[in-house]
Structure 1
Amino acid sequence: MNEFPTSARAVIIGGGIVGCSTAYHLARLGWEVLLLERHKLTSGTTFHAAGLVGQLRSNANITQLLGYSVDLYRRLEAETGIATGWKMNGGLRLACTEDRWLEVKRQATTAHSFGLDMQLLTPSEAQALWPLMNVDDLIGAAYLPTDGQANPSDITQSLARGARMAGAQIVEDTAVTRIVVEKGRVRGVETSRGTVDCEGLIVCAGQWTRDLAATVGVSVPLVSVEHQYMVTEPVAGVTSDLPTLRDPDRLIYWKEEVGGLVMGGYEPNPIPWAVDGIPEGFHYTLLSSNYEQFEQFMEAAVGRVPALESAGIKQLVNGPESFTPDGNFILGEAPGLPGFFVGAGFNAFGIAAGGGAGMALAEWVANGAPPFDLWPVDIRRFGAPHASTNWVRARTLEAYGRHYTIAWPGEEAEVARPLRRSPLYATLKEAGACFGEKLGWERPNWFADIDKGEEPRDRYSMTRPGWVEAVAREHRAAREAAVLIDQTSFAKFSLQGPDAAAVLSRICAGRVERAPGRLSYTQMLNEQGGIECDLTVARLGADRFYIVTGTGFATHDFDWIARNIPEGARATLSDVTSGAAVLSLMGPRARDILAAVAEEDVSNAALPFGSARHIIVAGARVLALRVTYVGELGWELHMPVEVAQAVYDALMAAGRPLGLCNAGYRAIETLRLEKGYRAWGADIGPDHTPVEAGLDWAVKLNTDLPFIGRAALERQRRDGVKKRLAAFTVADPSVVLLGRETILRNGVRAGWLSSGGFGHTLGCPMGLGYVRNRDGVDAGWLRDGSYAIEVAGETVPATLHLAPLYDPENTRVRG
């Protein structure tokens, strides 16, 4: 055996499919790679995975990641000489209710948006592909020809062979006993065979990842859950080319295996495993079969596949797997610990994601950034609540139980709430607030009219949810009078020090070098010009800045700013979120209301747009930021939490005679769409530049000031772009736009909506989306096209707009 190495450029912990895929890709990028497995390859959870490979997700880039897995598995055997068991036999998804059928049709549209061939089938057409199933209750089905299945252990061994062929070293039976951290950065690992120095550490240890990462202060929110599937003896009529089958209304999936069937599901009452810790020496180990737990699937399974009733049962496999609170896996470099990367928490689709996840992790390590925006799986999407394993477990079990339930638009988590509450929580609840949750924060989504007997409870629908009228009320109040919105959950940072201005000027693409008392809306870009952060910066003093960003981006944006503060710079970044409550006062009567309770002059001359001034409201010192995200006159009022109630009471007392009412986040969404305001994570992100997003007016290219991403934007301005964000409206008010609907230009697919909703001022559905053309996109080309939107399989005419749909100065709809 080769001598155990004392150093490697990258060390990977974990020999499952994700670890071996990362080793394969990183070695092919020319890195010196050492993979350490404490027992044998695949001995953790990979060996008992079911092996279904589906591709479609609600995000284009995650779908692309899974599509890469398919491409890799198709060619891997020829490259390495080791069979993978890969079969592109297609995948069927059934629908047995009208709501499910609408969901499936929307999924097919999403697939078309992302370039996947997902076909809608009649029950008889579906049965022709899967003759053994009963289709008496079927409304329809969707078929994705490029889905398939694979043998998890064989694919992993093939990836390991490919990694070795590229120069990687794989060492089994070697436990990592300690991660070495020096001066805030990973420097190596101590193992049962000795110490290994490294530049980058990638932890792909499955359900063991959480505890290992916690030893160096990194939170990886995943827990272990029992997951069972049944393997039958050969069944007459089962052929090797039988597609995989998902029957979500029965909570069940199927695949062919050696002439028999594998059948498993996602029960609503999952069983957590290893609550007190994973047993020592747990490898190549299954749990005892729990027939009582699995029995809940059997009647539904036999109803779908009658042959199951007489089939011999070979095995009931019960293996624990790692699941996460939102059902998405976890990738990326840990915030606060450079050099520490994670690839874990794959929610029982690690085989489908393994190829793409390994590719993305390898490029992240090698290039310092992922190959494209991976926000839905980025480790930085988590925050303070996820440090609690009990909180994570409660939320994860709920997500597991919803794996196959209908994904209702706007659906909120129900368990592990409330946790983080604004000081106004009780007051708003009494006023009829129906709360949603973001990063543990309770936030008012909408308000019921208690006096009229409305109940503040979400009623979900695939077409017209129960909150539509309430949101329309709040929307109209914002346009015609004023609304007060509790936005205490905003993430808020302080950057202070003699070098703070210089540091921010380099990080921000917009002008932040303003006089104290001024506010800047700005993006922070990567070197390719992609938008990493979208936030506001208030200069409160010569060396003091106050930064405000979205609730869900607290960890991500803090990490981005922190990692871009040069070493030695005299600038200190602090998270001050919990110290400040925020009330947003918005609407044409906002100034009248604020003037009634403020001790200072709040006229436009005294507090112009973009100002950041301290004023006294109801005896309390309040930072008034003149800014809007709803397209109306307004202020964000930031204040110490202890005065929030007094300020709220004063504003409501002064504003009620003028039509002031409470409003929530669902109204913010409809209002901002009418005005064309972008949302990070939907309309803008690391894959989109300000030039493409129509935000280059917010960038300081007309100065000679340097900033990260400047060169990329200058190239785009010179050479043009291949996609541009535009607004769309549909005349038919019954059409429901949610985002991800396909944009058709002159009958040809040209992109998809990034956001969708209903404009209560416009009186019609609306959305934002990028129109793409490989030969270039400009305003003239956009205007020359004829547009339609594919919505749930139907094509509806649409109108493209390059200006905001709503013009508050003239209170008219723009064409």
Structure 2
Amino acid sequence: MQKLPSHVEYVIIGGGIIGLSIAYHLTQLGHSDVLLLERDQLTSGTTWHAAGLVTQLRANENMAKLAQYSAELFQDLEKLTGQATGFRQSGSVTVAATPTRLEELKRSASMGRSFRLDVEMIEAAEVKRRIPLLDVSDILGAAWIASDGMTNPIDTARAFAVGARHGGATILEQTPVTRIIIGNGQFTGIETARGTLRAEKAVICTGIWSRGIGADLNWTIPVHAAEHFYVVTESIPNLPEALPTVRDMDARFYVKADAGKLLVGFFESDAKPWGMEGIASDFSFHFLPEDFDHIEPYLSAAIERMPALADVGLQLNFNGPESFTPDNRFLLGPAPEITGLYTATGFNSCGIESSGGAGRVIAEWMSTGEPANDFWGMDVRRAMPFQRNRRYLHDRTVEAVGSLWELKYPHKAAKTARNVRLSPLHNRLAQAGANFGEVAGWERAQWFGVPGSPKSSHGTFGRDDWFKLSGEEHRATRSGVTLFDQTSFAHLLVQGKDALAFLQRLSTNDVDAPLGRIVHTPWLNKRGGIESDVTIARTGEEEFLVVTSASQCIRDLAWLKMHARGAGHVSIADVSSGYATLSVMGPRSRDLLKRLSPADFSNEAFPFATSREIEVGYGLALAFRMTLVGELGWELHTPVEQALGIYDALVVAGQDFDLRHAGYVALESLRLEGGYRKWGSDLGDEDTPPQSGLGFRIAWNKGSDFIGRAALETQRGRAPRRRLVQLAAPLAAPLMFGTEPVWRNGTLVGYLRSAAFGHTVGCGIGMGFLHSDTGVSAEWLSTGEFEIEIAGERYAAMGTLGSLFDANRTRVKGEYQNIDDLIHPTLRAAIAKT
């Protein structure tokens, strides 16, 4: 047996297809000092029993790129390594038997075009021509992707192994890792059953075992195994080997040709979590017990769609574990507070088709210390500490398997493992008719219905009750006063005599503001990309309160702590649990607050971007004069124990002002009208402030340097070739939700990153990065003919570098005029024609 080295640069823990892909890609980057450790044999965990489908359409651009790269790599991997992979591009068909599913497929096809993936909508007759075995009598349409296909998981993993070894990597089987060694927040080495070694960096690719490995390090890697089922038929005479993969997502099954047989797999709505009490380290190449009763309804649905299945016996009834995450997204990237340690896991039954892309991403990330693109949607740092709770993961996994194929309605939230993080106002909001969604475990009101009316966990694609109710909240915010519960905000306290210098180094804006001032600033990486976009209130000479979004808490906290090392006397604490946040917004917000507080809320005494401790009701609040909705308003950051009293006082006094509750759907449409950027939706870590329309938040002349400045210097004075643009489709009846392609003069130039219906401007609106080799400028926007594609149809659109509503922020200042006069003139003229 090959000897264990004493020191290596890179260690990969886990010999499934993901770990082997990372090893291969590290060697492709020129790293030969690479060691992969496998506890048993390569592929012995879950890779060996994967179905091997290769599907490229994903929920966002960078997830789609992973799958697209994998498909491209699989075509060449045999030639590159000499190891056969079994890859073939036979295409895939996803059928729709309901109007709603058909609309979703059309929207997905448009989204695919956004990501340069060719998705063709075909009719039932064409489905029948391509796959004669199908009953298409009730099919309304289908999505056809010619470049999809399938591969042999074990052979493809072997090809990665061969390529990695050719590049100098060492692969050791029968070498279980017994401990990951950490010292002073730094990964330093590995203990194995064969000895100990030192290493510079490591990545955990241990699939269904990852949660426990992370928990031992106080790191949340939220994955849980579920029993995952498929059957394989006996041989079928004259079965075409190139038969396209079939998916019927409403019936929750897929079918693929497999060596003259058919493999039928399932994504059942009532999954069976497995391994909650732990998974044995010697679980290798094992089957789980059959459960025909569990899969029988789904197999029956498959037989209805493909009647030939009724006439052939089953050779194999397979059940094996797969790992799933609470939100059905991968877990990639660095440990928040352990330098040099990464993970690549939680692939939700999509590991084979994503293996090439995921392997390249992690290899590049480990090599350079930064991701090559914005992978926030898959970043492990989105995971909250509570999400390693085993009961939570167990109960969410019941739903997670089936939710992969459920209709992707807007604002949809999970139904299981809820009520983990509750605002102190939760019961009051429920009584007021709140329909709750979930973000980072927080229960947040999406919109408010009639108290006692049935609740929904999502919207629809149409203008149903959710649309009407959130529209009323939107209009109430523009005309009167509304109350938003934003308790999910994260609050991070930065203190110490070096705190100012520390934050100046991180921030593009000038944080050296007087006591009581608020600074809104991006934090950048060395490339100039926006790592976060935060609000910083100076609450003392040596104290600052950083307010960020709920989902960014772990990431931003880790960013602060990482840069605080060696920064002098700086302390950082997450104080989020001590605060509740009530936002009072709208033209009458000042009048309402004056009823409850002796504070002076005038522009002179309380200007925009200032904070004051005020008396309100019987309590105290740190009041920020800030807004995300483009209206006069204040955020009241209150001690949690005082939130209910202050809320009740606001509601009672608000009766004289027609105070209305409002939720996050209205907040989204309001912010988009006003052109307010949102990190994680509109912005990411590959977007710079000049590209994002945030150049005004760069304090070029402040007396200290900041991270990313050198990269930004190259963009000064130029029209960026890619730029965040606000767009509107004044004639479009279908609603927009994001990812819709944007065309200029018939050429695809970008897509919407976020979108909503603007109830003030009266049409669909959104933001997206558009591209032009000559620069995205006001002239380029005014001289082109723009269209937005929604569910396969294109609608005339207009774009602006400013905002569509109240570009001069007059309402934020408490200045009011005819609301129609504040709508962008080009948009106003277009709407007038309709």
TM-score tier, shorter chain, comes to over 0.9
Q: Distance in 2 between matches of 1:73 and 1:221?
A: 29
Q: Secondary structure at the match of 1:397?
A: helix
Q: Distance in 2 between matches of 1:189 and 1:695?
A: 44
Match of 2:355 in 1: 354
Match of 1:641 in 2: 640
CA distances 1:595-617 after superposition (whole Å, capped 9, x unpaired): 22112212111110010111111
Question: More displaced, 716-725 or 6-15?
Answer: 716-725
User: How far is the alpha carbon of 1:499 from its aligned partner?
Assistant: 0.6
Q: Distance in 2 between matches of 1:409 and 1:445?
A: 11
Q: Is 1:327–1:396's contact at 8 Å kept on the other side of the alignment?
A: no
Q: Distance in 1 between matches of 2:773 and 2:64?
A: 21
Match of 2:772 in 1: 773
Match of 1:528 in 2: 527
Q: Distance in 2 between matches of 1:153 and 1:243?
A: 21
Q: Is 2:437–2:458's contact at 8 Å kept on the other side of the alignment?
A: no
Q: Distance in 2 between matches of 1:280 and 1:620?
A: 55
Match of 2:381 in 1: 380
CA distances 1:198-231 after superposition (whole Å, capped 9, x unpaired): 0111110111111122222111111110101111
Question: More displaced, 136-145 or 770-779?
Answer: 770-779
Match of 2:829 in 1: none
Question: More displaced, 406-415 or 188-197?
Answer: 406-415
Match of 2:91 in 1: 90
Q: Distance in 1 between matches of 2:68 and 2:232?
A: 27
Q: Distance in 2 between matches of 1:460 and 1:690?
A: 33
Q: Distance in 2 between matches of 1:786 and 1:383?
A: 44
Match of 1:582 in 2: 581
User: How far is the alpha carbon of 1:412 from its aligned partner?
Assistant: 1.3
Q: Secondary structure at the match of 1:476?
A: helix
Report the residue type matching 1:82 in the other structure.
Q
Match of 2:622 in 1: 623
Match of 1:323 in 2: 324
Report the residue type matching 2:8 in the other structure.
A
Q: Distance in 1 between matches of 2:281 and 2:413?
A: 37
Q: Secondary structure at the match of 2:714?
A: helix
Question: More displaced, 376-385 or 116-125?
Answer: 376-385
Q: Distance in 1 between matches of 2:222 and 2:70?
A: 24
Q: Is 1:538–1:545's contact at 8 Å kept on the other side of the alignment?
A: yes
Q: Is 1:235–1:307's contact at 8 Å kept on the other side of the alignment?
A: no
Q: Secondary structure at the match of 2:680?
A: coil
Match of 1:550 in 2: 549
Paired residue total: 813
Is 1:76 the counterpart of 2:77? The answer is yes
Match of 1:63 in 2: 64
User: How far is the alpha carbon of 1:802 from its aligned partner?
Assistant: 2.5
Match of 1:22 in 2: 22
Match of 2:649 in 1: 650
Q: Is 1:385–1:439's contact at 8 Å kept on the other side of the alignment?
A: no
Match of 2:691 in 1: 692
Q: Distance in 1 between matches of 2:651 and 2:316?
A: 65
Q: Distance in 2 between matches of 1:356 and 1:426?
A: 44
Q: Distance in 2 between matches of 1:325 and 1:316?
A: 27
Q: Distance in 1 between matches of 2:23 and 2:774?
A: 37
Match of 1:110 in 2: 111
User: How far is the alpha carbon of 1:667 from its aligned partner?
Assistant: 0.9
Match of 1:505 in 2: 504
Match of 1:369 in 2: 370
Q: Distance in 1 between matches of 2:774 and 2:238?
A: 50
Give unmatched runs, 5+ long, in structure 2. 826-834
Match of 2:830 in 1: none
Q: Distance in 2 between matches of 1:33 and 1:261?
A: 39
User: How far is the alpha carbon of 1:803 from its aligned partner?
Assistant: 2.1
Question: More displaced, 294-303 or 528-537?
Answer: 294-303
Question: More displaced, 274-283 or 756-765?
Answer: 274-283
**Cα distance 1:572–1:221, how it changes in 2: closer, same or farther (>3 A)?**
same
Q: Distance in 2 between matches of 1:762 and 1:733?
A: 13
Match of 2:288 in 1: 287
Q: Secondary structure at the match of 1:269?
A: coil
User: How far is the alpha carbon of 1:695 from its aligned partner?
Assistant: 0.9
Match of 1:11 in 2: 11
CA distances 1:642-698 after superposition (whole Å, capped 9, x unpaired): 111221222223232122221111110111011011111111111211111111111
Report the residue type matching 2:29 in the other structure.
L
Q: Distance in 2 between matches of 1:704 and 1:82?
A: 58
Question: More displaced, 405-414 or 40-49?
Answer: 405-414
- How do residues 111-510 of structure 1 correspond to structure 2 at under 5 angstroms? 111-450=112-451, 454-458=453-457, 460-510=459-509
- RMSD between superposed Cα atoms in Å: 1.4
Q: Is 1:132–1:237's contact at 8 Å kept on the other side of the alignment?
A: no
Match of 1:592 in 2: 591
Q: Is 2:2–2:172's contact at 8 Å kept on the other side of the alignment?
A: no
Match of 2:828 in 1: none
User: How far is the alpha carbon of 1:568 from its aligned partner?
Assistant: 4.8
Structure 2 counterpart of 1:814, from 798, 808, 824: 824
Q: Distance in 2 between matches of 1:589 and 1:107?
A: 42
Q: Distance in 2 between matches of 1:538 and 1:459?
A: 35
**Cα distance 1:280–1:769, how it changes in 2: closer, same or farther (>3 A)?**
closer
User: How far is the alpha carbon of 1:249 from its aligned partner?
Assistant: 1.6
User: How far is the alpha carbon of 1:277 from its aligned partner?
Assistant: 1.4
- How do residues 669-684 of structure 1 correspond to structure 2 at under 5 angstroms? 669-684=668-683
Normalization by structure 2: what TM-score? 0.96
Give unmatched runs, 5+ long, in structure 1. none
Is 1:606 the counterpart of 2:609? The answer is no
CA distances 1:38-66 after superposition (whole Å, capped 9, x unpaired): 11111111000000010111100110111
Q: Secondary structure at the match of 2:27?
A: helix
Match of 2:558 in 1: 559
Q: Is 1:435–1:444's contact at 8 Å kept on the other side of the alignment?
A: yes
**Cα distance 1:309–1:363, how it changes in 2: closer, same or farther (>3 A)?**
same
User: How far is the alpha carbon of 1:270 from its aligned partner?
Assistant: 1.1
User: How far is the alpha carbon of 1:458 from its aligned partner?
Assistant: 4.7
Q: Distance in 1 between matches of 2:692 and 2:611?
A: 26
Q: Secondary structure at the match of 2:690?
A: helix
Q: Distance in 1 between matches of 2:703 and 2:425?
A: 45
Report the residue type matching 2:79 in the other structure.
A
Question: More displaced, 155-164 or 258-267?
Answer: 258-267
Q: Distance in 2 between matches of 1:484 and 1:15?
A: 52
Q: Is 1:269–1:401's contact at 8 Å kept on the other side of the alignment?
A: yes
Report the residue type matching 2:823 in the other structure.
V
User: How far is the alpha carbon of 1:234 from its aligned partner?
Assistant: 2.4
Q: Is 2:411–2:458's contact at 8 Å kept on the other side of the alignment?
A: no
Report the residue type matching 1:11 in the other structure.
V
CA distances 1:125-183 after superposition (whole Å, capped 9, x unpaired): 12222121111111111111111100000000000000011110000011111111111
**Cα distance 1:460–1:483, how it changes in 2: closer, same or farther (>3 A)?**
closer
Q: Distance in 2 between matches of 1:455 and 1:316?
A: 41
Q: Distance in 2 between matches of 1:732 and 1:484?
A: 32
Q: Distance in 2 between matches of 1:388 and 1:371?
A: 31
Question: More displaced, 346-355 or 126-135?
Answer: 126-135
Match of 1:665 in 2: 664
Q: Is 1:483–1:585's contact at 8 Å kept on the other side of the alignment?
A: yes
CA distances 1:289-326 after superposition (whole Å, capped 9, x unpaired): 22222212222111111111112322112111111111
Q: Distance in 2 between matches of 1:731 and 1:639?
A: 41
User: How far is the alpha carbon of 1:793 from its aligned partner?
Assistant: 0.5
Report the residue type matching 1:766 in the other structure.
I
Match of 1:761 in 2: 760
Q: Distance in 2 between matches of 1:358 and 1:321?
A: 19
Q: Secondary structure at the match of 2:511?
A: coil
Q: Is 1:89–1:149's contact at 8 Å kept on the other side of the alignment?
A: yes
Q: Distance in 2 between matches of 1:792 and 1:158?
A: 39
- How do residues 712-791 of structure 1 correspond to structure 2 at under 5 angstroms? 712-732=711-731, 734-791=733-790
Report the residue type matching 1:575 in the other structure.
D
Q: Distance in 1 between matches of 2:356 and 2:384?
A: 27
Q: Distance in 1 between matches of 2:380 and 2:281?
A: 27
Q: Secondary structure at the match of 1:68?
A: helix
User: How far is the alpha carbon of 1:379 from its aligned partner?
Assistant: 0.3
Q: Secondary structure at the match of 2:265?
A: strand
CA distances 1:55-79 after superposition (whole Å, capped 9, x unpaired): 1111001101111111111111001
